[in-house]
């Protein structure tokens, strides 16, 4: 039976994205327009400097340049902080993106390039964080394969995938060839991404609640959908060290484990699991971390993974 606990801090306001970065756990605090981290079992929240323009930080990811990057959904920008600084917020640098672009998801490829979905302009962007001027390295993908992109994922083979929120389809891009593709999913609403060690990509879905999977090497012929009554409103998902999938269900205040091809197990309850949103492995991969967006806390799952 996994052990589930929650960490609290008065500065937490709708914590959303979460990720392991540089030996710590970092998260966005979308309701307070800032970001925070867990260090030595304590939560720290870093207020953004006055006039920085940061609004609704959504997703967060470590950059190849040694900084922690995040999207600023409400101010059409990316931002980065140096986690090694005594006060990371003092190192905040903001990189403006096209007006009304509404950046949401953010991930890094194996080459270090950062990829992000630009929901407001129906496009996928990328920059090189190692460039002398990362803003000048901006590249943007558009086309019929990109329509209201939301959740985004960079697979192990460097292909880039995203959810088209309006149509329920899945778009893909292969940087090595420049090829773009679109995958029609079964009738459902895809949400968040993970990849299992066998290379399969997985998404949580709603309407109906479940998990969708496909092989990025042959997406059209490998799409599958599985469900179970234990699921109601699944959201974030990640892969544990044993290859199992762990997801959070915001409607049932629970975390759920699924062994592909096997059983579903539901764990937790409020107040330690309260409106969970995102889940990721921590620096210790046997401990999973999740955000309680409505419960205003950061949760952790310790188990024999």
What pLDDT was estimated at residue 180?
A: 96
**Alpha-carbon distance 124 to 115, whole Å?**
7
Q: What average pLDDT does the segment 246-260 reach?
A: 97
Tens of pLDDT, residues 242-252:
999 999 999 99
What pLDDT was estimated at residue 66?
A: 98
Q: What average pLDDT does the segment 208-218 reach?
A: 95
* Mean of per-residue pLDDT scores for the chain: 95
What pLDDT was estimated at residue 304?
A: 63
Nearest Cα to 70, choosing from 22, 32, 3, 17?
17
Q: What average pLDDT does the segment 258-286 reach?
A: 95
Domains and CATH numbers, the chain: 3-302 (2.130.10.10)
What pLDDT was estimated at residue 286?
A: 94
pLDDT band at 261 (very low <50, low <70, confident <90, very high): confident
pTM above the 0.75 mark? Answer: yes
**pLDDT over 90 at 68, yes or no:** yes
Q: Which residues contact 229 (CB under 8 A, 6 or more apart)?
A: none
How many other CB atoms are there within 10 angstroms of residue 241's CB atom? 12
**pLDDT over 90 at 187, yes or no:** no
Q: What average pLDDT does the segment 111-133 reach?
A: 97
What pLDDT was estimated at residue 303?
A: 67
pLDDT band at 184 (very low <50, low <70, confident <90, very high): confident
Tens of pLDDT, residues 15-65:
999 999 999 999 999 999 999 999 999 999 999 888 899 999 999 999 999
Three-state secondary structure of the chain: CCEEEEECCCCCCCEEEEEEECCEEEEEEHHHCEEEEEECCEEEEECCCCCCCCCCEEEEEECCCCCEEEEECCCCEEEEECCCCCCHHHHCEEEECCCCCCEEEEEECCCCCEEEEEHHHCEEEEECCCCCCHHHHCEEECCCCCCCEEEEEECCCCCEEEEECCCCEEEEEECCCCEEEEECCCCCEEEEEEECCCCCEEEEEECCCEEEEECCCCHHHHCEEECCCCCCCEEEEEECCCCCEEEEECCCCEEEEECCCCCEEEECCCCCCCCEEEEEECCCCCEEEEEECCCCEEEEEECCC
**pLDDT over 70 at 305, yes or no:** no
**pLDDT over 80 at 89, yes or no:** yes
pLDDT band at 185 (very low <50, low <70, confident <90, very high): confident
What pLDDT was estimated at residue 50?
A: 85
**Alpha-carbon distance 277 to 14, whole Å?**
9
């Amino acid at each position: 039976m996994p052990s589930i606990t929650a960490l609290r801090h008065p500065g937490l306001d709708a914590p959303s994205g979460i990720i392991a970065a540089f030996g710590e756990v970092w998260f966005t605090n979308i309701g307070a327009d800032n970001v925070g981290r867990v260090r030595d079992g304590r939560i720290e929240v870093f207020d953004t400097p006055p006039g920085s323009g940061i609004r609704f930080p959504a997703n967060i990811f470590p950059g190849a340049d040694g900084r922690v990057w995040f999207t600023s959904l409400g101010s059409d920008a990316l931002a980065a902080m140096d986690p090694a600084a005594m006060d990371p917020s003092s190192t905040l640098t903001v990189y403006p993106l096209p007006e009304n672009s509404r950046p949401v998801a953010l991930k890094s490829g194996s080459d270090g390039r950062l990829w992000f979905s630009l929901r407001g302009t129906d496009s996928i962007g990328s920059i090189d964080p190692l460039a002398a001027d990362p803003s000048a390295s901006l590249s943007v993908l558009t086309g019929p394969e990109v329509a209201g992109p939301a959740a985004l994922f960079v697979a192990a083979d460097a292909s880039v995938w995203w959810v088209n929120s309006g149509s329920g389809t899945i778009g893909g891009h292969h940087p090595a060839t420049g090829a773009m593709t679109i995958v029609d999913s079964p009738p459902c609403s895809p949400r968040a991404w993970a990849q299992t060690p066998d290379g399969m990509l997985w998404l949580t879905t709603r309407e109906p609640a479940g998990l969708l999977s496909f092989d990025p090497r042959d997406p059209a012929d490998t799409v599958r959908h599985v469900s179970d009554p234990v699921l109601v409103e699944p959201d974030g998902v990640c892969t544990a060290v044993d290859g199992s999938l762990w997801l959070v269900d915001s409607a049932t205040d629970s975390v759920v484990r699924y062994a592909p091809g096997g059983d579903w197990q539901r764990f937790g309850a409020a107040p330690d699991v309260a409106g969970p949103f995102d889940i990721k492995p921590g620096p210790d991969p046997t401990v999973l971390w999740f955000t309680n967006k409505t419960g205003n806390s950061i949760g952790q799952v310790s188990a024999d993974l």
